[in-house]
Structure 1
Amino acid sequence: MKSHYITWLKYLFITCLSTVYSCGQKNDMKNTSPNNPYYSHTDTTKLQVSNEEWKKILPLNLYLVAREADTERAFTGTMWKNDSKGTYYCAVCGNKLFRSTQKFTSMCGWPSFFEQENKNSIWFRNDFSHGMERVEALCSRCDSHLGHLFDDGPAPTGKRYCMNAVSLDFVPDTTTNNNEKETIVLGGGCFWCVEAVYQNLDGVEKVVSGYSGGNVANPSYEEVCTGTTGAAEVVEITYDKKKTNLDEIFKVFFTVHDPTTLNRQGADVGTQYRSVIFYKNDNEKSIAQSIIDELNHSGAFSSKIVTKLEPFTAFFPAENYHQNYYNNNANKPYCEMVIRPKLEKFEKVFKDRLKK
């Protein structure tokens, strides 16, 4: 039986790392500030950013509406009558707000919705400006002004979320195909633990426990445990690029294991338990190195990260009894004492990114 102690990371530093999305189009359908370091479709960490800082980052028209509660002119742009399928995000921070199925074309001249995608994505307060009594709608992540909420919408809610188009980014749906699926191979100690965590991350479609990085083709568990094959216990993660990305996958990775102990996790010692990322291309290597550099610079850990970046050569699935181990053996002592605490930590830090 393996024995581990749980090393709790200083995850406040980690959860502050944002995934940056550059939206690209030059119209009112997309974010026009690609250099915004706070913009992310996956990070729901509450932002505390001053208007002085936002003014340096945001385009002027977006800043005036989002941060100073200005109102754009009605019937400007095309978003108010857009009926394409897709998702609407906060243009300031990337927080998911609405789906196209919640939108209707009203004659007010602003994009209108009868329901929000996530009940926690928008908050409200009374607005008595301009001699009127209204309900202001603000993004729950960055507190930016979005528009107002009225009680004259269609069924089933009877609500009308009257939004400023400049405060919204629209990302159209695309047909899912194999080009949107990627795999990454990671090792963070016992593969039972790592597998159980990633099985619960939204956007991850499959997790397979196995071995990689060694000099023996298709090694057995017993061979890997000797530490002589050079192979590490790893998981192969298949994920949908529309729902998650490498930044988030690596963020989870550095949260649920200790990347500062060389060739060991807790009481498990040997190169088979090393912290390792097997990259398939320069892009994967660059993203991994960037996050490692950021964590080292931030002081998130008391010691320097020793995670190895190794070129991927081959992945060998582990024996069947290793697959889906936690779900099949949740009541066993190892699962209760070692895996369960890691899962609880993951669920706490990434509570908004769990599979439904």
Structure 2
Amino acid sequence: MTLNWKIIFVLVFFLPAPFFCGFSAEDKNDGEYSYMKKIIKTDEEWKRHLTPEQFAITRQKGTEAAFCGMMHDSKKPGIYYCVCCALPLFTSKQKFTSGTGWPSFFSPYNEKHINTRIDTGHGMTRTEVLCARCDAHLGHVFSDGPKPTGLRYCINSDALSFMQDSSLAEKDTGIKRATFGAGCFWHVEADFAKIKGVLSVSSGFMGGKVQFPSYEEVCTGKTGHAEVVHLEFDPKQVTYEQLLDAFWKLHDPTTLNKQGADVGSQYRSVIFFHDKDQEKSANESKEKMDKSGTFKSKIVTEVHSATEFYRAEDYHQRYAEKHPGVCGL
């Protein structure tokens, strides 16, 4: 056996599998969240996507003034994400009124999504809470919370991003969900947000094989995700069929994996249905549009059952509103 073959033999049979997969053993977790790649950026990179207040808190361990944060007394049903990397951290079901002036939770969305460490700053010894994916400083955890955990995760509002999710409400609200992919989600989100009866719109990803993908990962076209907008709507004000009509009008459903200058499978035209009624309506609407002659070419829109929705980073939310003139809006 020559030296070269000896080297190959050692590489193949003795190095751990993560060496060949492009991520370390720490990036690969057990159980449901089997893959969550660590996100590491420079301060300058974080500053490009965070407000000065968000940067001061999450990257420099600042603390917002009590009772001043937007989320400390919010009662809306939904999910609280890391403002830096969009990892889900807490839900409204775990939130309680602590009277301290900061959003308070008795447990996290998933214990694997947060890290803790001892903080001896400011002459005190406390337990700091950090995002497990990007190491953002979130706040601190104390042992004076309610049952069943007895813990109080005291979190800065500016470290969080919120998405309404009516399925987490205490009672059935009658609110429905819809998910569409029609190219770059910036303009799609803005268009759907204008429709009366659409209660919330979030930009994100669906239909891929990687859990908790970042925008940069999706842009490679290798994760299998499509850029989508995830809606909550009131069917008493707008029907699913009306949303489908809007969907056909705001993009070209005849171009495969392409919308305008944006090219790649992440820009594909796709409808993700959430129940059998939506599946039926989507297919019937697609067939009707194909036969109508509205488009010169055949519609290539995919129709699939909805899978896990992964919210995009906070700087993508309401992007057109924050950057007037983008996408021709």
TM-score w.r.t. the length of structure 1 is 0.44
Higher RCO (C-alpha under 8 Å, 6+ residues apart): 1
